[in-house]
Amino acid sequence: MARPTRSRIAWLIGCAALLLLAVLLSLAVGSRQIAPSEVVQALLHGGTSNDAEVVRSLRVPRTVVGVLAGAALAVAGAVMQGLTRNPIAEPGILGVSQGASAGVVCAIAFFGVHTLGGYVWFAFAGAALAAVAVYAVAAGGHRGASPVKLALAGAAMNAFLASVVSGIATTDARALDEFRFWQVGSISGRGTDVIERIWPFVAAGLLLAALMARGLDALALGDDAARALGHDVARLRVLGAVGATVLTGAAVAAVGPIAFTGLAVPHIARALVGSAHRWVLPVAALLGPVMILFSDVLGRIVFPPSEVPVAVTTALLGVPFLIALVRRRTVAAA
């Protein structure tokens, strides 16, 4: 359903304000509570107090990683749902998340990599190889890489890579211990080295997704309609898969597999601004970090001084959303 432009702009501004609030909470809330005024003071004027050091050295990198990963996962989910015309598509549909997991466990077990900064490259390489393999399988045969064939090839690749990961991790105790720390999905402990490695990929993926907005709108009408409007459907699918892979690979490499952000946020964005991707994509890019940061803040205050990983919190929030989505669509279909 179409929305007036003024309403869409208002929602966009509202989402931006919500993101600013999420960033402020992420910087202020934790095992050590810091007043918002102290946070602003530490950001603008520095300082040598303990609170200022906590904000600048620990919480700023954590928050920036959360913003990058949230935007990447949400936009990747919107792109995948547009490409496959599947409302429950999410960034892991091309085997990207499991590919990243395979890259990390291989880095630990076979290459002696034991730092988050080192994991990033192996995770990204594993994600890219998995996506290429899925697309190569789906592109064979009649009609090429159709949405159904992409989903089936992705499911098969996910199952295969999950078996590989389990096989390596369960036969190497040290690899299993280290891999569990990454696999749980968290933005805690991420430093500037991780930010430096992923931000160029996130920026490139977001730019590619933005350039594809009109093409995704055409694909929503069906392949034949998209061709009639002058779009190269195969090229759109390749570029969309590349963009989603780059975004998901970068996010998963940095923070581990975090579910439901790429599934839920695009649906929320469409409910706010309609189905046009030139509006859905920027709103998703704002709401993705909001979901990650609010989930992270919630995880910090539930069982203090311990923290619940952000992937656990997003799953707890995302499961009711998925149930509601299924029930709504069942009712609509009836």
Domains in the chain: boundaries: 5-333
CB 233, CB 226: distance < 8 Å = yes
* Residue-level pLDDT at 262: 92
* Residue-level pLDDT at 333: 36
Contacts 24+ apart (CB under 8 A), 221-226: none
CB 62, CB 190: distance < 8 Å = yes
Which runs of consecutive H residues, i.e. helices, occur in the chain? 5-28, 36-45, 50-53, 60-84, 96-110, 116-139, 147-170, 173-183, 192-211, 213-219, 223-228, 233-255, 261-273, 277-302, 310-333
Distance in angstroms (rounded) separating the CA atoms of residues 173 and 206: 38
* Residue-level pLDDT at 247: 93
* Residue-level pLDDT at 334: 33
* Residue-level pLDDT at 162: 92
- Token digits for 30? 């934790």
Grouping H, G, I as helix, E, B as strand and the rest as coil, residue 254 is helix
Output the CA angle 169-180-68, nearest 5 degrees.
125
The string over 108-122, giving b where at least 16 C-beta atoms fall within 10 Å of a residue's C-beta and e elsewhere, is: bbeeebeebebbbeb
Across the chain, which has 334 residues, the per-10-residue mean pLDDT values are 80 97 93 85 80 89 96 95 84 84 90 82 88 85 73 89 91 83 87 91 96 93 88 89 90 89 92 93 97 94 86 85 68 37
**Omega before 305 cis (within 30°)?**
yes
Measured in degrees and rounded to the nearest 5, phi and psi for residue 142 equal -70, 135
* Residue-level pLDDT at 138: 83
- Confidence (pTM): 0.91
Residue range 5-333, CATH number:
1.10.3470.10
